[in-house]
Amino acid sequence: MSTVPPKPRPEKRLMGKMRKEPEERPQHARRAPERPSLLFPILALLVGMGGAWAALGACGKPGEPPQPPVTAGSAVAPGAADPALKPQTFGLIDPSDGGGNNLIAIPADAFVDDRDADHKGSGAPRDVVLLGAAHFMTHVFEKPDYSSPRIGYLRAGAKVPLKGAVPGEAVKRTRSPSCKEGWVAVEPRGFVCLEKGGGSLNLEAPNVRLATAPPSFDDLLPYKYGFTWRNGAPLYRKVPTPKQWMEHEPWTRPAPKVEKVEKKKAEEDDPYADPTGGNAAAKDLGAAGAAAGSDAGAALTAAIEDAGAPWWLSDAGKGSISLKDTMESEGLVARRMAKGFAISIDRTFTWNNRTWHRTTMGLVAPADAVSMIKAPEFKGVELGTDWQLPIGWSLIKEAGIYETKDKKVFGAKDRFKKQTPIRLLASDAPGYEEIKSGGFTYIPTADGRWVRANDVNKAEKAAPPGDLKPGEKWIDIAIKSETLVAYEGDKPVYATLISAGKDGVSPKAPFATVQGTFRVREKHVAATMDGDSAGELYSIDDVPYIQYFQGSYALHGAFWHDQFGRVRSHGCVNLSPADAKRVFMWSEPQVPPGWHAVWADDAHPGTRVITHP
């Protein structure tokens, strides 16, 4: 797979592959055969905004499934309403108009958590002319020509300054047969096609004004996220009525009065009777229905036992379900989520006494089926006068710090907790030696004490590449020690823990991180990753701070686990959200303000990435 992006005409890059599109109309991206990601038909919803939603490449061959949150992924109560709500009307795209611009207004009496909808704008001064992005992916090209390379894209709702435009004067356009409304130049470089290409000079246009809020760079994660905790939780194309949601979510139906009487009598006769008859799926859904404040009752049990019951009302294991199975081709429900799917949340609102999440993909999820995610807070170390390499981090819950006398090791005099950094003595420093005692190897700390080598991940200074320019940025990734060090020239500036591919350093293993010298090829503030290969079904909206460096291998943030320092992924380099953001903001090419993604080119080369054992 090429590490240098070919020149599109115009093209979408999906999962490390390029696909050509006809000039006349942007199309949905399609699934690349060797990758697990899909573009789902349901996202005609987003073509209603004139753009296309793209699921980007998963890591290695099968991708990276989200795991149930560990200590860092503690959940907030599902569907918990926020008292700080106020009325506001906003819109959703109506997919029934065949890809037009109709918006479904959320009812005016809905209560919206406006803090989720804080449109911070572009940060541009008032004396500039702004372009609004009306398509979900509004592409930026190197030249005013669809045959020129794509160099980035804006997400719907973004606003960026036009280059050379003066308020009150006509905006300069370059018209062409493929862009009749004209191309306009944007800051700091590139061109966007108006109307057809998603660019809009009308910032009050519904698809600009009512689009999802921009990512937040002030927070740990660019969006709010939640895990679905029940199989079959629907993603609606628009806000359903109570009658509609009870039709599509049978666990929300109130039990018929006669059923309640019979149930009460049965419980009086046998208070320990199992109303599900031992059906595992019925137990799970019945408990979930109770948690949501409703009684699924016998009607739900009957539906489950029906031979024609869908996968989400059956005992089908997650490994037997494909991404295609989760899709609904038409109607109110766009998709059925499997347990563990992660959605990114744009706004939260309450209507008809029920709380809802609008996702960044423009769909609507019942909040009582979603547990909000608390991201892991681990972060690496800024290097300089206070901290220098080498550094070690505890691999275990509490690592011991030992003292020695006459090369004999005494009991631990102190301890440091898991993922806590400690200063180590460099192996080329005067007086450095290792002690072997009791079957363990002990290495010295900077303050003259000792730690067991197997208890720590050790980040050491690496030799710079021979052709490195003065001050050039580069990244060194050591797979065995699960560490990453960022450099500027020969000066290390940041060090942290990673989670590389779970197959370790075996170069041909399917879940190993690729080894070699590469460059960052493209950077995305956030993009969806999903897959269903190797018996693993997963979907994660807006994986944060993605940096592809070889094929579908990337550095990216992981909010679904906190096991940094241990192998875990299917090939990508997992970083904590804080570390992913830190490295993303530092590396090249820089994502221009207001853009959602950028591609490296000759004038803006990507940061060098070296991966090795």
pLDDT tens for residues 452-494?
999 999 999 999 999 999 999 999 999 999 999 999 999 999 9
Q: Domain ends where: 373, 408, 435? A: 373
pLDDT the model gives residue 325: 82
Q: What's the whole-number mean pLDDT along residues 241-267?
A: 77
pLDDT the model gives residue 413: 81
Phi, psi of 181 (to 5 degrees): -80, -15
Residue 70 has pLDDT above 70, yes or no: no
Same domain, 323 and 199: no
Tally of CA atoms within 13 A in the half-sphere of 222 that contains its CB: 26
Tally of CA atoms within 13 A in the half-sphere of 76 that contains its CB: 12
44 vs 237: CA distance, rounded Å = 10
Q: Domain ends where: 315, 344, 373? A: 373
Same domain, 296 and 328: yes
Same domain, 415 and 345: no
pLDDT digits (tens, 9 = 90+) for 402-411: 998 887 888 8
136 vs 159: CA distance, rounded Å = 13
Residue 82 has pLDDT above 50, yes or no: no
Quote the pTM value: 0.78
Same domain, 301 and 435: no
pLDDT the model gives residue 379: 98
Identify whether 16 is part of a domain.
no
Phi, psi of 256 (to 5 degrees): -55, 150
Residue 25 has pLDDT above 90, yes or no: no
Residue 281 has pLDDT above 70, yes or no: no
Residue 546 has pLDDT above 80, yes or no: yes
Taking a C-beta distance cutoff of 8 angstroms, is the pair 102, 249 a contact? no
Confidence grade of residue 208 (pLDDT, cut at 50, 70, 90): very high
Identify whether 351 is part of a domain.
yes
Q: What's the whole-number mean pLDDT along residues 254-266?
A: 62
| CATH assignment of the domain containing 169 | 2.30.30
Q: What's the whole-number mean pLDDT along residues 61-89?
A: 36
3-state secondary structure of 47: helix
Taking a C-beta distance cutoff of 8 angstroms, is the pair 150, 168 a contact? no
What lies within 8 Å, CB to CB, of 56 at 6+ separation is 14, 15, 37, 524, 527, 528, 529, 543, 546, 548
Q: What's the whole-number mean pLDDT along residues 555-571?
A: 96
Which one, of 402, 395, 389, lies nearest residue 429 by Cα?
389
Q: What's the whole-number mean pLDDT along residues 536-554?
A: 95
Confidence grade of residue 61 (pLDDT, cut at 50, 70, 90): low
Dig out the tokens for 278 from the structure: 């031992």
Dig out the tokens for 169 from the structure: 């004067």
Same domain, 451 and 586: no
Confidence grade of residue 321 (pLDDT, cut at 50, 70, 90): confident
Residue 29 has pLDDT above 50, yes or no: no
Confidence grade of residue 266 (pLDDT, cut at 50, 70, 90): low
Longest dimension (CA), the chain: 85
Q: What is the 3-state secondary structure (H, E, C) of 518-536?
A: EECCEEEEEEEEEECHHHC
pLDDT the model gives residue 478: 98
Taking a C-beta distance cutoff of 8 angstroms, is the pair 535, 520 a contact? no
pLDDT the model gives residue 35: 32
Q: Could you give the number of structural domains in the chain?
A: 4
506 vs 513: CA distance, rounded Å = 9
pLDDT the model gives residue 62: 46
pLDDT the model gives residue 127: 81
417 vs 184: CA distance, rounded Å = 55
Q: What's the whole-number mean pLDDT along residues 574-591?
A: 99
Of 370 and 94, more confident = 370
Identify whether 103 is part of a domain.
no
146 vs 143: CA distance, rounded Å = 8
| CATH assignment of the domain containing 481 | 2.40.440.10
Beta bridge mates, 394: 418, 456
Do strands 333-337 and 233-236 pair parallel, antiparallel, or not at all (unpaired)? antiparallel
Same domain, 139 and 190: yes
348 vs 226: CA distance, rounded Å = 12
Same domain, 183 and 241: no
Identify whether 135 is part of a domain.
yes
Taking a C-beta distance cutoff of 8 angstroms, is the pair 56, 546 a contact? yes
Beta bridge mates, 355: 350
pLDDT the model gives residue 405: 82
Lowest mean pLDDT among 420-424, 469-473, 517-521, 534-538: 534-538
Identify whether 67 is part of a domain.
no
CB-based burial of residue 85 (10 Å sphere; 0-12 exposed, 13-18 middle, 19+ buried)?
middle
pLDDT digits (tens, 9 = 90+) for 584-608: 999 999 999 999 999 999 999 999 9
Identify each DSSP E strand in 406-470 by its residue range: 408-417, 421-423, 435-437, 440-444, 450-452, 456-459
Same domain, 438 and 344: no
Mean pLDDT of the chain: 79
Encoded amino acid at 557, one letter: G
Residue 271 has pLDDT above 60, yes or no: no
Same domain, 546 and 595: yes
Confidence grade of residue 319 (pLDDT, cut at 50, 70, 90): low
Identify whether 36 is part of a domain.
no
Confidence grade of residue 287 (pLDDT, cut at 50, 70, 90): very low
Same domain, 530 and 553: yes
pLDDT the model gives residue 485: 99
Identify whether 85 is part of a domain.
yes
Q: What's the whole-number mean pLDDT along residues 309-335?
A: 78
Of 158 and 108, more confident = 158
Same domain, 344 and 400: no
Q: Domain ends where: 340, 373, 406? A: 373
Identify whether 120 is part of a domain.
no
> What range defines the domain where residue 398 resides?
390-459
Percent of the chain residues topping a pLDDT of 90:
61
Of 538 and 473, more confident = 473
Q: What's the whole-number mean pLDDT along residues 367-394?
A: 96
Same domain, 419 and 543: no
Q: What's the whole-number mean pLDDT along residues 263-280?
A: 45
pLDDT the model gives residue 310: 83
Residue 395 has pLDDT above 50, yes or no: yes
pLDDT the model gives residue 324: 83
Identify each DSSP E strand in 389-521 by its residue range: 391-394, 398-405, 408-417, 421-423, 435-437, 440-444, 450-452, 456-459, 473-478, 483-488, 491-497, 516-519
Dig out the tokens for 538 from the structure: 């997963």
Distances (CA, A) of 80 to 348, 349, 375, 463, 578: 10, 11, 18, 52, 26
